């Protein structure tokens, strides 16, 4: 089967950001009198901004509105990125390798402003023909919406795309969209065994991502 496009996840594939999300959300929640425990970050992985801001309000006890929570956390995340972008070793080269042979998309749970600032700071914006934030679709991962929208914007069938993912929700999202999935397990928040078994290829790191691997 031919590959008409490769669609990257952002967090955990291009930037090592899950730890930063965890720190920023925890600091935000605690500073506003909310509750935060070890289950909070895994619960929010893959959620759209609408979903996690509602989760922080409803489940973690922050009284601010979900819209205010969303804006506050995104502002803190962008500030952290502008101090130091946590680009994963080998990610830039992997994106460049793939862009040389196939159109690229990006399907991320990050907010649109964070997608744009990461690609700007990493000097990767021009290599992606389409980028989608889950805040731009009805449902976040593991629902297929963000990957289906990426394929639509690329002008290709989802079934002819390969997704590059690191998490259980991301792998399930890509597979639900009908894409083949290359899994690069997040070392701190690895996908569960059942999700990993759904991946078509498992790589040790993004540095191992090559055109041959996605075929």
pLDDT-wise least confident of 5-9, 83-87, 195-199: 195-199
Classified as helix, coil or strand, 122 is coil
Share of the chain above pLDDT 90, in %: 86
Tell me the pairing of strands 201-202 and 180-183: parallel
Share of the chain above pLDDT 70, in %: 100
Question: What is the Rg, in whole angstroms, of the alpha carbon atoms belonging to the chain?
Answer: 16
**Structural domains in the chain?**
5-16+86-214 (3.40.50.1000), 18-83 (1.10.150)
pLDDT-wise least confident of 66-75, 112-121, 123-132, 187-196: 187-196
Strand segments (E) across 80-123: 104-108
pTM (predicted TM-score): 0.92
**45-70 pLDDT tens trace:** 778 888 899 999 999 999 999 999 99
Q: State the average pLDDT over residues 89-111.
A: 97
Place 88 in a pLDDT band, splitting at 50, 70 and 90.
very high
Answer yes or no: are the C-beta atoms of 172 and 13 closer than 8 Å: no
Which two three-digit tokens encode residue 196? 């990993």
More confident position, 187 or 209: 209
pLDDT at 125 over 70: yes
**179-207 pLDDT tens trace:** 999 999 988 788 889 989 999 999 999 99
Backbone angles phi, psi at 119, to 5 degrees: -65, -35
Contacts of 9 (CB under 8 A, 6+ apart): 106, 107, 108, 163, 164, 165, 166, 167, 170
List the one residue out of 141, 147, 149 whose CA is nearest residue 167: 141
* Chain mean pLDDT for the chain: 95
Q: State the average pLDDT over residues 114-137.
A: 97
3-state secondary structure 169-195: HHHHHHHHCCCEEEECCCCCCCCCHHH
């Amino acid at each position: 089967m031919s590959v008409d496009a490769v669609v990257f996840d952002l967090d955990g594939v291009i930037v090592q950001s899950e730890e930063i999300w965890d720190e920023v959300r925890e600091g935000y929640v605690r500073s506003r009198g909310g509750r935060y425990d070890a289950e909070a970050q895994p619960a929010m992985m893959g959620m759209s901004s609408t979903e996690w801001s509602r989760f922080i309000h409803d489940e973690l006890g922050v009284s601010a509105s979900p819209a205010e929570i969303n804006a506050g956390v995104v502002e803190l995340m962008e500030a952290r990125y502008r101090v130091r972008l946590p680009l994963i070793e080998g990610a830039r080269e992997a994106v460049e390798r793939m862009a040389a042979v196939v159109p690229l998309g990006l399907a991320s749970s990050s907010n649109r402003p964070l997608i744009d600032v990461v690609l700007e700071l990493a000097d990767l914006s021009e290599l992606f023909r389409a980028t989608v934030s889950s805040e731009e679709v009805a449902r976040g991962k593991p629902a297929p919406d963000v990957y289906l929208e990426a394929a639509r914007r690329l002008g290709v069938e989802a079934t002819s795309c390969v997704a590059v993912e690191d998490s259980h929700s991301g792998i399930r999202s890509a597979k639900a969209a009908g894409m083949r999935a290359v899994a690069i397990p997040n070392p701190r928040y690895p996908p569960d065994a059942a999700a990993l078994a759904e991946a078509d290829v498992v790589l040790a790191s993004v540095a191992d991502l090559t055109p041959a691997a996605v075929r």
